[in-house]
Amino acid sequence: MTASDPMTTPSTPPVPSTPPVPESAPSPPALSCRGLSKRYGDVHAVRDVGFDIAPGEAYGLLGPNGAGKTTTISMLVGLIRPGGGHVRVCGVDLAADPMRAKARIGYVPQEIALYPELTGRENLRFFGRLFGLPRRALAGRIDEVLDLVGLTGRADSRLKTYSGGMKRRINIGTALLHRPDVLILDEPTVGVDPQSRKAILDGVERLVGEGMSLLYTSHYMEEVERVCDRVAIIDHGRIIAEGTRRELIALVGGADKVELSLDGDLETALAKLRAVEGVIEAAMTGAASIRLLTEGGRYLLPALITAVDGCAAVTATQVIEPDLEATFLHLTGSTLRD
Ligand SMILES: Nc1ncnc2c1ncn2[C@@H]1O[C@H](COP(=O)(O)OP(=O)(O)OP(=O)(O)O)[C@@H](O)[C@H]1O
Ligand SMILES: [Mg+2]
């Protein structure tokens, strides 16, 4: 008989092993860090880094070479001890309970670490067993993971015959076997072929669509813009801005440039364009071109074309919307790829 048998203990209800969670209690962040710091001699690799990633959120860490992305991740996954700060994974303190915290993470390092003589499937099996996944469940899970990374057709070739991008896809697969809550990818597309890059980005979007939380680091801003809900810009070890793509772009003013090529009376056209609602600035940039700074960019084009009707004809248009690259340049004074 057990203490929880209702027949033997009618007056004392069974005690659940964990206290019930009130229905209104919010889930803890999938990943949370505060005050993370790391020094290597005189180099402050990471300085006071902190952020929260909500369950199901895709969070990007965008920064140039040497910004501190890998050092930050190494502390988040417990590979190096922080000089300061702390990490929680799904509410579990990494320092206090590393095994339980790490079990919730799937980590794909920047460097590929696989066995060249084994096939893709054998590599996955090896790492699955290493994680302690039961043999019976593993075979089916490996098939799912191979499908996710788009390598079902090559699963039984030796790894040494794979392209760099395919190896990286298997590396990502190893991190997914145990169904982690948070996937951490450190520059997953550096040096990979376009086909693998597409497979990686599609796979990542699918996982996030299914509810996985993601930390994605890259110095390719177009990838971060595509995949991530929120982005932190990191430079010289510090997070210098954080927000959605729109919020970050708003830091540089958020205005769109519109370039118009025109035939006709440009002086009159200029005056008429300046009067259009949404036009912030307009100036002639040549004998047949006008540049405008606008709110609304492409959506303003019909109004701009109508405004000059009668004095000039628009022969070509170009809209340049600001992106994270522009934000990065604005905040740091340098480009992401220098
Ligand atoms: N083990 C180490 N010993 C000494 N310095 C280090 C070590 N690891 C990193 N650094 C330094 O810390 C800084 C941050 O490096 P980190 O690898 O975290 O940057 P990163 O953003 O990942 O760059 P990349 O885009 O090149 O991968 C750099 O100045 C780097 O030289
Ligand atoms: Mg790195």
Beta strands 213-218; 230-235: pairing state: unpaired
Q: Which atom of ligand 1 is nearest to the CA of 71?
A: 18
The DSSP call for residue 187 is S
For residue 281, the CA-to-ligand 2 centroid distance in Å is 41
Cβ atoms of 229 and 320 within 8 Å: the answer is no
Q: Using CB atoms within 10 Å of the CB of residue 42, give its burial: 0 to 12 exposed, 13 to 18 middle, 19+ buried.
A: exposed
Confidence of residue 7 (pLDDT cuts 50, 70, 90): very low
Confidence of residue 268 (pLDDT cuts 50, 70, 90): very high
The DSSP call for residue 160 is G
| Mean predicted confidence (pLDDT) in 136-147 | 94
pLDDT tens-digit readout, 190-220: 888 888 899 899 999 999 999 999 999 988 8
Residues near 85 by beta carbon (within 8 Å), at least 6 away in sequence: 33, 34, 35, 36, 37, 48, 49, 50, 75
> What pLDDT, on a 0 to 100 scale, did the predictor assign at position 18?
57
Residue 6 pLDDT more than 50?
no
Average per-residue pLDDT in the chain? 89
Read out DSSP for 17-33? SSPPPPTTPPPPPSEEE
| Mean predicted confidence (pLDDT) in 71-91 | 96
For CA atoms 208, 210, 213, 214, the dihedral sign is: negative
User: 147 or 328: whose pLDDT is higher?
Assistant: 147
Alpha carbon separation from 123 to 133, 159, 171, 281 (Å, rounded): 14, 8, 9, 59
Confidence of residue 1 (pLDDT cuts 50, 70, 90): very low
| Mean predicted confidence (pLDDT) in 280-287 | 92
| Mean predicted confidence (pLDDT) in 45-74 | 95
For residue 44, the CA-to-ligand 1 centroid distance in Å is 10
For residue 70, the CA-to-ligand 2 centroid distance in Å is 4
Residues near 163 by beta carbon (within 8 Å), at least 6 away in sequence: 192, 193, 196
**Structure token pair of residue 263:** 């035939």
Beta sheet of 289-294, edge-to-edge order: 279-286, 289-294, 256-264, 312-320
Return the residue whose CA atom lies nearest to atom 17 of ligand 1. Answer: 70
Q: Is 69 in the pocket of ligand 1 (CB under 6 A)?
A: yes
Residue 4 pLDDT more than 50?
no
> What pLDDT, on a 0 to 100 scale, did the predictor assign at position 337?
61
> What pLDDT, on a 0 to 100 scale, did the predictor assign at position 221?
83
Q: Is 191 in the pocket of ligand 1 (CB under 6 A)?
A: no
Q: Which of 75, 105, 96, 88 is nearest to 29 (CA)?
A: 88
Separation CA 69–CA 231 (nearest Å):
13
| Mean predicted confidence (pLDDT) in 130-153 | 92
Return the residue whose CA atom lies nearest to atom 31 of ligand 1. Answer: 66
At 67, which amino acid appears? A
For residue 141, the CA-to-ligand 2 centroid distance in Å is 29
Residues near 312 by beta carbon (within 8 Å), at least 6 away in sequence: 262, 263, 264, 265, 266, 268, 269
pLDDT tens-digit readout, 92-131: 999 999 999 999 999 999 888 899 999 999 999 999 998 8
pTM exceeding 0.85: no
Return the residue whose CA atom lies nearest to atom 25 of ligand 1. Answer: 65
Ligand nearest to the CA of 109: 2
Q: Is 188 in the pocket of ligand 1 (CB under 6 A)?
A: no
> What pLDDT, on a 0 to 100 scale, did the predictor assign at position 254?
67
Cβ atoms of 152 and 146 within 8 Å: the answer is yes
Ligand nearest to the CA of 41: 1
Q: Is 65 in the pocket of ligand 1 (CB under 6 A)?
A: yes
**Structure token pair of residue 299:** 């959506």
Which domains does the chain possess? Answer: 31-248 (3.40.50.300), 256-321 (3.30.70.100)
pLDDT tens-digit readout, 308-337: 999 999 999 998 888 888 788 878 877 766
Ligand nearest to the CA of 72: 1
Ligand nearest to the CA of 63: 1
Cβ atoms of 47 and 238 within 8 Å: the answer is yes
> What pLDDT, on a 0 to 100 scale, did the predictor assign at position 21?
54
Calculate the dihedral angle through the C-alpha atoms of 126, 131, 132, 135, rounding to the nearest 10 degrees: -40
For residue 108, the CA-to-ligand 2 centroid distance in Å is 12
Three-state secondary structure of 216-276: EEECCHHHHHHHCCEEEEEECCEEEEEECHHHHHHCCCCCEEEEEEEEECHHHHHHHHHCC
Q: Is 47 in the pocket of ligand 1 (CB under 6 A)?
A: no
